[in-house]
Structure 1
Amino acid sequence: MQLLSVLRSVVLVGAVLAAAPAAYAQIAPQRLALCAACHGADGNSQLKGIPSLAAQPKLFLENQLVLIREGVRDIPVMKGSLDGVSDAEITALAKYYAEKTLAPVPTDKDAEVFARGGKLAEGMRCGICHLPTYLGREQIPRLAGQREDYLLHSMQQFKNNQAVGRDSNMAASVYGVSDQDLNDISYYLARLTP
């Protein structure tokens, strides 16, 4: 089943790249297909625990790809996937996903949990770095509309000092925050329309 998904991604990505501007000429079709197998051909992940890359700030994506390639940010399932990738291809990949449109956010909304998550995010001043709209900027990721499971997992990694190769300011930001509060914040952010 996974192989079939990868093959579909290769065909779809090949068609996209064939019609793409020259700016994407640096991207090897098999590289984009590899990314698409987990992150979605349009950058919108359908897989649990896998972040959506669509509409993330280009500089953030570029930085993360370099950190992963250089082994500073350790993501076991991505080990080796960026070996030998040039800086030019990383820049093209970052641009490609930054320009993709984010899929619509989940429509199911528990008003109480959503309000509580919004109040927590505001009180923790998440909007100072991620912007009040939570769209991110430069090297700061977009949180609005990101997968809820991925947001929760990431914040738990920061809280438990397991986010190796990632911004240490986040560890301080979630220090002492309860798991329930992290759940509520993730719920809120995942349902924010960018």
Structure 2
Amino acid sequence: MNSIVKNTALALGLTVGLGMGMAPLAMAEGDAAAGQTKAAQCGACHGADGNSPAPTFPKLAGQGEKYLLKQIMDIKSGAREVPQMVGQLDNFNEQDMADIAAYFSSQNMQLSGSKPMKVKLNSGDTVDGLKLGRNIFRAGNPETGVPACMGCHSPTGKGNAPAGFPRLSGQYAEYVETQLKAFRSGARANDGETRVMRTVAKQLSDAEISAVADYVAGLMPAPTSE
């Protein structure tokens, strides 16, 4: 019980830190209708509606507007290095980027889906990947200090749009895995001064990363009430 309480407290602490570290101080208000036209050039990689055709590129559809805008701004400024995006945002101002974020956020993400898999732990044991992924997502790993992913990303993986926490449910497992490893190595470092994702990812093994990435790919967010 003590480890669960400790882990929950850590998750709540990270939630506060992540919200402060990831949100820009001020953002333009996006216009989804205007963003549809401006996002046309994004469609080649991310799909016209934000459902990218390949796991190399993330799905943007249904992602939180606040989170999307921060990532777009970070990529343009160089705070987040994405080689494929070099020069793609040069002609966009902040309003353009806000409109694009609003457009993709308004679209519906198509679920990638999970797949049965076995993963090999550092101990040498081979375990069910989906079960391990579910455990990490819902309860973390008290032994290594990893908090439950759902503490920030919600029990259904839909994220927390107002706080700027990204949606994970339905995203390509390959993409989620790549980003977690980038945070772990420090290659991606735009998680703010609190270094929340780098701190968490540093404690995750390859097996845990693969398992949780596969698990969230099949999560279905609860429907939102109109």
C-alpha distance after superposition, 1:48-99 (max 9, x if no partner): 3211001100100111111112221111110111113121111110110001
Equivalences for residues 170-189 of structure 1 within 5 A: 170-189=197-216
- Relative to 1, partners in 2 of residues 1:144 and 1:24: Cα closer, same or farther, differing over 3 Å? closer
State the structure with bigger RCO (CA 8 A, min sep 6), 1 or 2.
2
Which residue of structure 1 lines up, in the alignment, with residue 71 of structure 2?
64
Structure 1 stretches of 4+ moved >6 Å? none
Say if 2:111 and 2:169, in contact at 8 Å, map to a contact too. Answer: no
Equivalences for residues 81-160 of structure 1 within 5 A: 81-106=88-113, 108-109=115-116, 112-124=128-140, 125-137=148-160, 138=162, 139-160=164-185
- Relative to 1, partners in 2 of residues 1:75 and 1:107: Cα closer, same or farther, differing over 3 Å? closer
Say if 2:61 and 2:106, in contact at 8 Å, map to a contact too. Answer: yes
Q: Could you tell me the percent identity over the aligned residues? A: 29
TM-score of the superposition, structure 1-length normalised? Answer: 0.80
Give unmatched runs, 5+ long, in structure 1.
1-22
CA RMSD of aligned residues (A): 2.0
Say if 1:105 and 1:193, in contact at 8 Å, map to a contact too. Answer: no
Higher helix fraction (1 or 2): 1
Letter in 2 for 1:120: I
Q: Supply the distance in 2 between the matched residues of 1:155 and 1:76 (Cα, whole angstroms).
A: 17
TM-score of the superposition, structure 2-length normalised? Answer: 0.70
